[in-house]
Amino acid sequence: MEKQVNRYIKLNELAETNGIVVFGSGEDVNIPIGEIRQAFSIEPKMYNRSFKNLSITDAESIYEKCIAPLCPETVLIHIGEDDLSMFKKNSAEFDTAYRSLITYIKSQNKHCRIAVVSMKGHDDHPLISEMNKHLKHIADSERCEYIDIASRKVWNPKSTMDAASFVYSIGFVRPLKCKRPLYDLVRMLFCLEPSLTA
């Protein structure tokens, strides 16, 4: 993980501030941020600062080194995949670490939009379902957005791209600069078919 931290620190020297940051774990490292940003005409800068095996207990110190220097306008937190055994053993510890991360992000930028993204639970795994309930409660109590990507939903990225192209074609170039709903943004980033992000 130290190698990845150093890589992100170096990349931050080239990055611009006040953008959107994906802070996830597991397969999130493979999200093709550049392609998605271009395909959906997303105006703000976007950065992926995800780690393969990131635990919520390490997230705050990682955020401090790899994300805080970017002064993000929006942070999408998708952490928990590597914490299932810890959550099963001690859900209170998991909750405390998650709240601590959110508190730290707010201490760095009180205007930062924060979204807590659910774990994907396509197999109706009871432990993932329980974790998602905790994530929703944490998001609600910390006044963050909670975005549920746990259930299977039909989403057609082509129609979303066509809609964005239509908006441009009729002359509304600037509205896409506005903050788009975080749900749409999360859907674009986390709900692509696995074959497209591999």
Give the DSSP letter string of 119-174: PP-TT--HHHHHHHHHHHHHHHHTT-EEE---S-----HHHHHHHHHHHHHTT--G
Q: What is the pLDDT of residue 158?
A: 52
Q: What is the pLDDT of residue 151?
A: 66
- Has residue 94 got a pLDDT over 50? yes
Which of 36-45, 71-80, 147-156, 179-188: highest mean pLDDT? 71-80
Q: Considering only 28-42, 88-102, 105-119, 140-154, which range has the smallest mean pLDDT? A: 140-154
Q: Kindly report, residue by residue over 161-197, the tens digit of the pLDDT.
A: 554 444 444 444 444 444 456 777 787 787 765 444 4
| Average pLDDT of the residues in 137-158 | 78
- Has residue 1 got a pLDDT over 60? yes
Q: What is the pLDDT of residue 131?
A: 95
Domains in the chain, CATH or no CATH each? 2-189 (3.40.50.1110)
| Average pLDDT of the residues in 150-163 | 53
Q: What is the pLDDT of residue 177?
A: 44
Q: Kindly report, residue by residue over 10-68, the tens digit of the pLDDT.
A: 999 999 999 999 999 999 999 999 888 888 778 889 999 999 999 999 999 999 999 99
151 token code pair: 């259930």
Q: Report the chain's mean pLDDT, rounded to a whole number.
A: 83
